[in-house]
Structure 1
């Protein structure tokens, strides 16, 4: 009790009005298992539907899951999703994949409130540029498997949809300070009413991450610092709803490679990486009886300076509209259109570059999807998107799903889909000056990578205390990225000389043992084969990419409400070995203890990778972080 009084006194001296606060706090995990199955999601059908009725491999990370995880960043929070693989390369660089192909890192679409985090530079996500205050997130919907019909090209192996809370749910003030041996954070937020029918919030945050080390104990120059601020406003006028939100950020980080490298025979010094940018999004929604009409527009700017290789400024304008019709008879139809424009400007160096240095690109698409009720228990979903890009013309992305409701609490489903990963600038435009054979001339004829998926799944609530999902998939890939010799020349080019196939299992379950204790377990298994097309000679070791994905993962998470004021979470995960070069399998244990000192004041202690001497998570060895033990103490006050 003496310790509690001491901590409370310190906290109240820092936040003198905290005793007047009334934060909205969740209980054990925020909702019962029945309520979790009834959570309404939008990522599978682009219309609200209960999670229990979604015919896809979808996992929902709730706001309570985020808070109790002790995660310090969005990318670290994604480890909560059993159908994702999150790998740390260095302090500020991560690879996030679903269903393999971590070596490509370009087959996953990420959305934040409808804004795509995809970059046309390499068709992937720069995770160091993506950040959201975790307490502002309502839920994260993670769909493993293709989502091209609804979300477009590059939604090949999965979709991550981050949905933040409306401003009305974040009223009052909140301040959070945390510090530990690896990272220090500070976040402040304030929300209030906006007229009679609206609300707004503003926030600011900053953090500093320490240098990491290699397995040998050598320090890596990868420390980084970032500051970010943003706002959101929501209001209604009759049947119309409006949202305007935006963010701005600036960061700098050390280069994880050694102080210099050799490029085309020259010793090249490496400088500090700088990045920054901002975005502004506006959304309008009108309710028309049981139908919904919506329109959205956003502008996103990214600035990235990677000395001495290139400096990029990317401006994206995205416009989209959607109409979701009220069910008419057996049919529930949704259709929409999207236009996206990118202006990518690069300052090339003598070591590496893109030609042309400036490129303006656009994508246009239309989609339609119909859910057909085939009696009381069967539901058929048919959808098609036609998307046009400047590299390969029009791509067609069809999708068919059949769901069978087995009683009130179980559903079987199957799906067949075709999707593509459209070319990026890194496929078509890169050049490496120098003397042959070190000359790379890009891939002027590079085509879209194609994936065909076959999926089966079951989701069931076996009584009020057990909820589980089991999913099987088979995927066939064609025209995958390869590195080949230009015929008759000592030059390299990028081409589509690789094919592949994968199969896997994803299973997870939640078990409410007692009203105060919940267990969640998961296991995934996957196997991927790739092979060259006849006559292709690959010079870039593309076949070795499959060794960068673990054959299996397993996790177990315990959430225990010790009392009305104390809570304890323990998470264990096991990740299989990688190859080429070999990376051993590892087991990690994370723990978080939370203590509500006052109704408006809380304290938590989080430890990650608590046991063992550390582990690597990717096959890159020159600058790979050896992930070691970290601890952090966080104090949160509301007013």
Structure 2
């Protein structure tokens, strides 16, 4: 049995029926209830600010209120409630997947600035969803579907843009503390503290914002049935970030930012120092943005358990854009350019092949790329808007690639909107995958396993995507349905490897043997993946005190490279969420929610007899918020009310925490 499921109150069938009872077949996200009073403005889905309903993409906004609804150690514990988002939980790590494509195809942005630690931590990067504490986040914009026309490589699956709180006109801030108590005392408790403050140093001219905090989830004890299989590992994180904003006159803004993070996951500490200098200008005839940004990320330990092999990645980007409105604002044209460089120093893995003349000669690899892009926003009629764009990326190792996109938004009626679009995207191999000087131990052993290396023979991955959606927005009801599909070709793969010296030469990516006899394998373009599905969402305001939100995703994701299609792993075919909110007074708010994760493959092969399947399950949460007085807010509740636990019996499985209680305090000033 894959991932033994323990439950103390209800059967699996009862849990599913209870969740399904409050879900609708046509459904909008919780944050969309009440859009008519406060329209959501998004900045990630196009080159200009737009209402979410008018944005040329499928976009969900997770609001500040939703971020604090339940305790969240990082964004994975919030975004798993968004339609089209699933979690890859291999090895008890949680990484975000959009529309059936893994975390490598999701571009993370912090205030529009690219962030990735995949070069430092190639063995499961679960760091990028945790660089910003929830206390500092104003909202998160999740764009599902390729956005390479604006953002280039890594945005094939979509974009997650973490938008931090702005500098206020007057001094204000907050201090918060959370605690999660596990009913199962073998499971690790979690706690965090954080602060945010901002205000003017010189009125209307110079402002400052600061945030920081500490966040920890303690290591599990003996929570699994097999003593050698670990539960959740220890995670602790420290943050400190500051931004100065200078506004010398109306329409001109210059900001400088520096941040420091140290995230430690399972004994692997990563330090990140980030910086940015940004100028935004409003000129009347156009608006502009120019930015220099980057970071230095240090992996203090390396990638192999039991060894100390640190590495350091330096990333820098210079980008700029100008937007020209014309025809009385009915149209706009945005043009931009970008230059980006990546550099990695890794004395342990950038050594070349042992036994060759170039071994241990150069522990550094780097790559540059530049891009030009445009996006035109054209209102063809009062109700019909066409967005077209293209990006030309010139990669040092792979030459030029276009990423075109076209999207149509039709306001069929004041309440009903049709959205449809198509795009092409590409993703260049990572710095490691493409470097022939890079290599790492693999196949389960650092001494008798196998060895994997980068390859200069790799081709960029390419994707073609399309979507069609309808959205209804009424006074008390909002609902939407989107059909989507993506064909990904030339997926880069390293699963073909073995420690068996006899079988190794039969593999297509076999290179040879190390002097000690271990077989060597290179990354290769082998996989073709097709994903398609349906996303629905619902928002229903029952009355002034009660509202309901729900979403459902149906996903089919397969590797179609061979003669037999193979299901993609950690991709639930069905996912659903629902939340019922009650506001009995202005000071008190309560919610009850259900999260359903459908049946999924934990391992899949061409011979289906060897597949490992995890059955679907549901968890229930409830919580309350009380604005006590003097800007003091108390939150409390229970997670996984029915204590539906999942324990690992093999390494392909993952844990699901059981019943736990949370309490949190926030003092605003």
Q: Bin the TM-score by the shorter chain.
A: 0.7 to 0.9
Separation in 1, partners of 2:264, 2:510: 42
Match among 572, 597, 605 for residue 575 of structure 1: 597
Secondary structure of 2:454's partner? coil
Separation in 1, partners of 2:511, 2:199: 68
Map 1:211-250; keep pairs closer than 5 Å. 211-212=219-220, 215-216=224-225, 218=227, 220=231, 222-238=233-249, 239-250=251-262
Separation in 1, partners of 2:147, 2:661: 37
Secondary structure of 2:94's partner? strand
Name the residue aligned to 1:12.
none
RMSD of the TM alignment (CA)? Answer: 3.0
Separation in 2, partners of 1:34, 1:625: 40
Change beyond 3 A, Cα 1:67–1:591: same
Cα shift readout 1:557-605 (whole Å, capped 9, x = no counterpart): 1121122221112221111122222222120112221112213111111
Q: Gaps (5+ residues) in structure 2?
A: 1-29, 182-188, 354-358, 497-506, 513-518, 604-611
Q: Report 1 or 2 for greater relative contact order, CA contacts < 8 Å, sequence distance ≥ 6.
A: 2
Change beyond 3 A, Cα 1:148–1:455: same
Report whether the alignment pairs 1:410 with 2:416. yes
Separation in 1, partners of 2:659, 2:285: 52
Which stretch of structure 1 is more off in the superposition, 480-489 or 150-159? 480-489
In the superposition, the TM-score normalised over structure 2's length comes to: 0.81
The answer to whether the Cα contact below 8 Å between 2:225 and 2:649 also exists between their aligned partners in 1 is no
Name the residue aligned to 1:633.
663
Change beyond 3 A, Cα 1:204–1:44: closer
Name the residue aligned to 2:215.
207
Map 1:118-197; keep pairs closer than 5 Å. 118-119=116-117, 121=119, 126-127=126-127, 130-168=130-168, 171-181=171-181, 182-197=189-204
Name the residue aligned to 1:584.
615
Question: How far is the alpha carbon of 1:487 from its aligned partner?
Answer: 6.6
Match among 455, 458, 464 for residue 446 of structure 1: 458
Separation in 1, partners of 2:35, 2:247: 32
The answer to whether the Cα contact below 8 Å between 2:530 and 2:558 also exists between their aligned partners in 1 is yes
Question: How far is the alpha carbon of 1:123 from its aligned partner?
Answer: 12
Question: How far is the alpha carbon of 1:177 from its aligned partner?
Answer: 1.5
Equivalent pairs counted in the alignment come to 582
Separation in 2, partners of 1:178, 1:513: 31
Match among 593, 603, 614 for residue 645 of structure 2: 614
Secondary structure of 2:168's partner? helix
Question: How far is the alpha carbon of 1:460 from its aligned partner?
Answer: 1.9
Change beyond 3 A, Cα 1:487–1:345: closer
The answer to whether the Cα contact below 8 Å between 2:578 and 2:595 also exists between their aligned partners in 1 is yes
Map 1:487-498; keep pairs closer than 5 Å. 489=512, 491-498=520-527
Map 1:6-85; keep pairs closer than 5 Å. 32-36=34-38, 38-85=39-86
Change beyond 3 A, Cα 1:282–1:170: farther
Question: How far is the alpha carbon of 1:632 from its aligned partner?
Answer: 1.9
Which stretch of structure 1 is more off in the superposition, 52-61 or 423-432? 423-432
Which stretch of structure 1 is more off in the superposition, 503-512 or 298-307? 298-307
Name the residue aligned to 1:314.
313
Question: How far is the alpha carbon of 1:32 from its aligned partner?
Answer: 2.3
Name the residue aligned to 1:473.
484
The answer to whether the Cα contact below 8 Å between 2:169 and 2:200 also exists between their aligned partners in 1 is no
Name the residue aligned to 2:280.
285
Separation in 2, partners of 1:437, 1:543: 29
Separation in 2, partners of 1:309, 1:393: 36
Match among 529, 549, 558 for residue 520 of structure 1: 549
Change beyond 3 A, Cα 1:243–1:81: farther
Separation in 2, partners of 1:487, 1:86: 32
Name the residue aligned to 1:459.
471
